[in-house]
Amino acid sequence: MTTGERLDDIEAALEGARSEGLRIIEAAADLGSLAEARTRALGRKAPLARARSGLGGITDPTDRKKLGQLANAVGDELEAALTSKRGGFERAELDARWERERVDVTLPGDAPPVGSLHPLTKTAWEIVDIFIGLGYRVAEGPEIELAKYNFEALNFPEHHPSLSPQETFYIEGHGDEVVLRTHTSPVQIRVMESQAPPVYVVIPGRTYRRDVMDATHLSAFFQLEGLAVDEGITMGDLKGSLGTFAREIFGRDLDVRLRPHYFPFTEPSAELDVQCFVCRGSGCRVCKGEGWIEVLGCGMVHPFLLEWVGYDAARYSGFAFGMGVERIAALAHGVTDIRSFYDNDVRFLAQFATGGGGP
């Protein structure tokens, strides 16, 4: 073999190594087989390495340099082919992963059930709001109350049946001096004791009586009291204010009436009726044929109370009222058994939910 033939052979072998290597690399199907392809195209036993080994036998430096450069170029080309192939595989794998882990952030989530205010809370707030609009503020007092405030200061005679332990819960260990308040009226006294007139307050709160529970009675219930004391307050103010309240709650075009009644702490005393909002006076099941629905107890503040707290009863007068929140809520929503408000049956309560998807 002449030197020229050997040169041609080596050159052909290098070109063969190039095309063989490129073929091997091209044939790799994934990152794993690409590693194998690298060994087969660029490893110690690869065609390129074998062709390179022939270079040692070339004595002419120019020829050797030329073929050496060719060998390097082939090596670089195969290296570049491997790199680009790997890049393709890595991109494909990343694309697949994006696809696998894709999250559609626009899909609606699983909404957790959201609660809502209890219908009694809503009713109380609604009533409070009406009176706030009339210039009243909110006051509160203790549920465990001195009998002195619950009865005595409110002009209950000593032997009034309400004082009986059959009617009122007495707190053990305190004789007959401490009770669970039977109404929110003792807070009238507490408010008046704490400030000079004028007084305009509404007093929401829990109250207790030894009542047997039925559709209209509970032993723990929710009252809302009101008290207005100022110079020159008359029964006309009482009727006007409570009429405004009743029409706000039950219907703007309904009539109201005052029916004489008795409470020790008001004189005169009355019950406020509103025209039946179902039959408008002709008589139906809701008003039990009466045409009118009893809404609350009220009256002009008895001077006994004003004197008890040290107000000038000749200068000041006032009116007071008290209502059962369960009763107002039941009437306003057509609930026939007030015990439903305390059963905590979500199916019942959810009917009163407004705004933001209730349970």
Residues of the shown chain interacting with ligand PHE in the complex, contacts defined by CB under 6 A: 183, 185, 225, 263, 266, 297-299, 320-322
CA contacts within 13 A on the Cβ side of 194: 11
What number of other Cβ atoms are within 10 A of residue 239's Cβ? Answer: 17
- Let me know: does 321 contact 296? Beta carbons within 8 Å: yes
**125-131 — which CB contacts under 8 Å span 24+ positions?**
126/249, 127/202, 127/204, 127/224, 127/245, 127/249, 127/323, 127/325, 127/328, 128/202, 128/204, 128/224, 130/244, 130/245, 130/248, 130/249, 131/202, 131/226, 131/245
Closer to ligand PHE by Cβ: residue 141 or 299: 299
What is the DSSP secondary structure assignment for residue 356, as one 8-state letter? Answer: S
Question: How many Å is the Cα radius of gyration of the chain?
Answer: 47
Closer to ligand PHE by Cβ: residue 13 or 298: 298
Please state the closest distance from residue 282 (CB atom) to ligand PHE, in A.
Answer: 29
Query: Cis link prior to 268 (omega < 30° from 0)?
Result: yes
Please state the closest distance from residue 357 (CB atom) to ligand PHE, in A.
Answer: 38
- Let me know: does 169 contact 157? Beta carbons within 8 Å: no
Please state the closest distance from residue 266 (CB atom) to ligand PHE, in A.
Answer: 5
Closer to ligand PHE by Cβ: residue 156 or 352: 156
Closer to ligand PHE by Cβ: residue 25 or 130: 130
Please state the closest distance from residue 271 (CB atom) to ligand PHE, in A.
Answer: 9
User: Which residue has its beta carbon closest to ligand PHE?
Assistant: 322
Closer to ligand PHE by Cβ: residue 221 or 341: 221
Proportion of the chain in helix, strand, coil states, percent, rounded to 5: 45, 20, 35
Please state the closest distance from residue 221 (CB atom) to ligand PHE, in A.
Answer: 10
Please state the closest distance from residue 183 (CB atom) to ligand PHE, in A.
Answer: 3
Please state the closest distance from residue 319 (CB atom) to ligand PHE, in A.
Answer: 8
What is the DSSP secondary structure assignment for residue 214, as one 8-state letter? Answer: B
- Partners of 298 in beta bridges: 270, 321
Closer to ligand PHE by Cβ: residue 47 or 299: 299
Closer to ligand PHE by Cβ: residue 269 or 275: 269
Closer to ligand PHE by Cβ: residue 75 or 299: 299
Please state the closest distance from residue 346 (CB atom) to ligand PHE, in A.
Answer: 31
Closer to ligand PHE by Cβ: residue 48 or 298: 298
SS3 labels along 277-335: CCCCCCCCCCCCCCCEEEEEEEEEECHHHHHHCCCCCCCEEEEEEEEEHHHHHHHHHCC
- How close are the terminal C-alpha atoms of the chain, in Å? 96
Where are any strands of DSSP class E within 4-112?
A: none
Contacts of residue 257, defined as CB under 8 A and 6 or more positions apart, other chains included, come to: 272, 273, 292
Please state the closest distance from residue 339 (CB atom) to ligand PHE, in A.
Answer: 19
> Which one, of 285, 268, 267, lies nearest residue 276 by Cα?
285
